[in-house]
Every structure is written in C-alpha cells, then in structure tokens.
A = this chain, B = another copy of it.
Amino acid sequence: MTMRDIDPTTLEDGGPREACGVFGITNHADAAALSYFGLYALQHRGQESAGIAVCDNGEIRMHKNLGLVSDVFGTDILKKLSGNTAIGQVRYSTTGKTSLINAQPFVVSHRGHTYALAHNGNIVNAHVLRRELESSGSIFQTTNDTEIFLHLFVKNLDKGFDTALVNTVETLKGAFSFLLLTSDCGLVGIKDPNGFRPLCLGRKNGSYVLASETCALDLVEAQFVRELDPGEIVIISKNGSIRSIQVPTPKRRSFCIFEFIYFARPDSMIHDLSVYEMRKAMGRQLAQESHVDADLVMPFPDSGNYAALGYSEQSGVPFEMAMIRNHYVGRTFIQPTQSMRDFGVRVKLNPVRSLLRGKEIVIVEDSIIRGTTTKTRIKALREMGVKRIHMRVSCPPHRFPCHYGIDFSSKGELIASGKSVAELTSYLGLDSMHYLSIEGLLASTGVKNAEDLFCKSCFDGCYPVSFDKDLSKDCLEKI
C-alpha cells in the first residue's frame, strides 16, 4: 500500500479557479476585521493566499500568507493590524507561480510613501511592459503582473497623483480591478476600460467599501451603492471625500459572462443582475433546448444547483439532491491505493442509492472544464444502478483559453477543445449530452444587446483585448 497526503482538490473536477477577490474599506475603526469578513465572503474567488494591509497614521502594516482566510488570520494578527483604512485580497494564481512572494497585497515604498496594491485580473501586455521597465534599470521581485502597476505608477508620479493613475491605467491592457492603498490612508479603486471583472462600491455609515462582489457587502452590512463603470478610477480620501476619474473606454463592454455561470456567488448581484436568477434562467433555457423525460433531475453539488432547479421548473422533471456532500472533508486526506482509487470521489460526494437504482436521470452541470471528476462521478452513479444518464451543461463548450484572469490559460486543459460533444458523451460514459447554445446563454441574461456587453471569448475565441501583437481582435475561429 502506498499512501501520501494529497490535496483533495486534485480529485476535484478541475473546475476553473478564479484569479482573485479584493475588498477595501475606509474610515472604520475595525478596518482589518471588516476586511477579514469581506475576504471570507470572497474566499470562493481564490484559495491560495490571503492578505490584508492597513493604513495607520501614515504607516502601512500588512500580513499575508498562503492558505485560506481562516488559516492566515487569527485574533492576534488582526489586533496588530490596527488602522482605519484597509485593503485585502484572496488569490488564486493565474500569472505567476504559487508562492508566498506572489501573495498580495503587494507593498512597496518610494520617496517616503508606501503603497499597497491588490489585484483581480490579468494584464495581457505584462511581458512587453516588464521588458521595457527592466531596460531602464527596474528589478522585479515577483512573477506577477501586479508589480508592473507600481513601477509604472511611481515613474509617472512627477506628473501628479491623478495623472499617474490615469497614465498607468491607459498603459495597461487586459482585465484588472485594482485596489490601491496609500500611506496617507487614501483608497483607490480601479476598473479596466472593458470592465471584465466586477468591482462594486458600497457604503457603511461613514465608510466606503469596495469589493469584488455584493455578497461581501451583505456580510459586513454595507449598503450597495453601484458597480464601478468600466475605466473608472474612484479615489476616496482619508477624510471621506470621494471623486471619480473616467478613462476612455471602448464602445463594447466585456463583462465576463463566466462570472454569472460559475464564479460569482449566487447571492451576489453583478451589473444589477442576480447571479442566482440568471443561473436558474440558464437551466430553464437548457430544458427548452434539450428536454428529456427523465425520472429526476439532479445537480452535482453545489455549483449546478441553480441551473438544475431552473431545468426542473421548466421541464417538470422532479428535482432531487441525489448526491450527498460530506461537509467534513479536510484540506488533505490520505491517498488511497489503486484498489481504492475511487474512494476519493465518494469521500466528498456519495450518491443516494435508494433514489437512483434503475432510474433515468438528468444531471445538470454549470460547466465542464477539464472533465476529470465528471467522469468519475458518472461512474459512481452507474455503480449505484442508474439506468440512463443525460448530462445538460448550462453553458456552451469551453473551447478557448481565458486571458483575462481565469486559470484555464491553454487549450490543452479544456476537454471540449479537443473533443466533439459526441466524443465527450462517449468519453464520460453518458447516454446523452447537451451544452447550452451561445444564443441561449445570451438570452438567459435577460439583457438587451447582450452581445455587446459580455466577454464570451472562452466559448467563441473572440478576444476583446489583444494579448499578443500577432493576434487581431477578431475571433480566433469563426464558429
């Protein structure tokens, strides 16, 4: 018997893991504690590292480490993070290897000022900019693109604070939502001109809050004010004044539609749209596109829950929670021997045999990225005696990598880029399979001109911001 401690996420479905979540708050005596709770609410956006920086009387103090928010912060540490303005970040690496050195916030000093920066997104011209900066003598200590923002920013500071910000934003290309904390306790929120990643503004009495999602506002009892506009720079001063600078933007927006499909928490509102209700709408649309007269419809918990509910609602097929989640699965567990290889999946999710034996079922998934655990889970269902299995996926096939902050950055990782739906059906051991159409997906949003609002490049290869000189903004393939 060979055993080693493994990370159970490697047994997971290889689902996409978001880049980051950011949270900031001004003018609150418990700034660090509120950031801690805010990051807790955003933990689904990044689980590799967590960090909080606070400004206290002209000094910036910071703590960050690899691990979950609950691992990284304890009472003792939070107590030391006194100060009235704070930013925090949770991170899953997209650019830059996983290591403490890439954890955020990122803090530097320059001419007596200190700056802390937290980033959600991906700068597509990072390599070009870095090469230029190094030519002029800059050295880099991390492999992440956040450091580039700071180099550019300080080089522009002679022109003034606002101009330095605008110039920097205009130089960077790609998806980015930044929070910048300055040692005079100012807080700056920045959203890229295309508006890829969410960033919203809230208010809690005399404090302003900036957060990746509204669920973080809910938790800290802040009132939602509005989503930042694409290309908007919001500057909140220590004394509570707030002002906004607008950088020129392209006509078309590029809100990441995958935030709605998978990433964002269902209790969040993004761009004034309910994630929960949009997911149900996708499920209803899916039932319209591809109905099966099955005994029951079920999700793989928990991400397919809402689309499955919508599917059931539309189709009349009864909704059942036929896989039971074990809530006590730790971060690591013992790797089984070859003969117990499938234990890994059932440790986390066990099918309800009495419900499934002899049945024809529909499984609703929100998305299939790498497909690894999907296959194993379907096998586990078969072993429980399920007769026929139909899979319905509430988004189109992922055929193109994302360059804007999601971690499937090469085609090779995407199972649907190499296999047709027919091949996948066979590969996964299904009786039938259907992906939501792109048209159906856009229709599910309920938004007029959805085509002009969302980035859906992972489905159609139409990249709104070029990430390479050789790449036109046109779609990679016409599909």
Specify which of A143, A276, A320 lies most central, judged by the most chain B CB atoms within 10 Å of its CB. A276
A399 within 8 A of B: no
A68 within 8 A of B: yes
Residues of B near A110 (CB, < 8 A) are 134, 138-140
Contact of A347 among B40, B306, B319, B331 (CB under 8 A): B40
Whether the pair A139, B109 counts as a contact (CB closer than 8 A) is yes
- The residues in A between 317 and 364 inclusive whose CB is less than 8 angstroms from any CB of B are 318-321, 324-337, 339-340, 342-343, 346-347, 350-355
Whether the pair B354, A108 counts as a contact (CB closer than 8 A) is no
Residues of B near A368 (CB, < 8 A) are none
Whether the pair A324, B265 counts as a contact (CB closer than 8 A) is yes
Q: How far is the CA of A453 from the CA of B395 in the complex (A)?
A: 49
Known A108-B139, A219-B350; judge A319-B309 contact (CB<8 A). yes
Specify which of A68, A73, A267, A320 lies most central, judged by the most chain B CB atoms within 10 Å of its CB. A267
Whether the pair B219, A347 counts as a contact (CB closer than 8 A) is yes
Whether the pair B75, A4 counts as a contact (CB closer than 8 A) is yes
A37 within 8 A of B: yes
Q: How far is the CA of A150 from the CA of B140 in the complex (A)?
A: 10
- The residues in A between 383 and 422 inclusive whose CB is less than 8 angstroms from any CB of B are none
Which of A28-36, A190-198, A426-434, A438-446 is found at the contact surface with chain B?
A: A28-36
Q: How far is the CA of A137 from the CA of B138 in the complex (A)?
A: 8
**Which residue of chain B lies nearest to A274 when distances are taken between CB atoms in the complex?**
B354
A154 within 8 A of B: yes
A180 within 8 A of B: no
Q: How far is the CA of A324 from the CA of B340 in the complex (A)?
A: 33
Residues of B near A276 (CB, < 8 A) are 324, 352, 354-355
**Which residue of chain B lies nearest to A40 when distances are taken between CB atoms in the complex?**
B347
- The residues in A between 214 and 264 inclusive whose CB is less than 8 angstroms from any CB of B are 215, 218-221
Whether the pair B141, A352 counts as a contact (CB closer than 8 A) is no
Which of A41-49, A167-175, A463-471 is found at the contact surface with chain B?
A: A41-49
Whether the pair A150, B154 counts as a contact (CB closer than 8 A) is no
A275 to chain B, nearest CB (A): 9
Q: How far is the CA of A331 from the CA of B330 in the complex (A)?
A: 11
Q: How far is the CA of A150 from the CA of B78 in the complex (A)?
A: 33
- The residues in A between 138 and 155 inclusive whose CB is less than 8 angstroms from any CB of B are 138-141, 143, 150-151, 154-155
**Which residue of chain B lies nearest to A77 when distances are taken between CB atoms in the complex?**
B334
Contact of A107 among B68, B141, B350 (CB under 8 A): B141
A441 to chain B, nearest CB (A): 20
Whether the pair A330, B218 counts as a contact (CB closer than 8 A) is no
Known A277-B355, A318-B313, A328-B69; judge A29-B1 contact (CB<8 A). yes
Residues of B near A143 (CB, < 8 A) are 109
Q: How far is the CA of A36 from the CA of B343 in the complex (A)?
A: 11
Specify which of A71, A109, A143, A352 lies most central, judged by the most chain B CB atoms within 10 Å of its CB. A352
Residues of B near A343 (CB, < 8 A) are 37, 219-221
Whether the pair A330, B68 counts as a contact (CB closer than 8 A) is yes
Whether the pair A138, B138 counts as a contact (CB closer than 8 A) is yes
Residues of B near A37 (CB, < 8 A) are 336, 340, 343, 347
A179 within 8 A of B: no
A79 within 8 A of B: yes
A116 to chain B, nearest CB (A): 11
Residues of B near A326 (CB, < 8 A) are 40-41, 43-44
Q: List 6 A-B contacts (CB under 8 A).
A: A3-B75, A4-B75, A70-B332, A101-B107, A141-B141, A306-B321
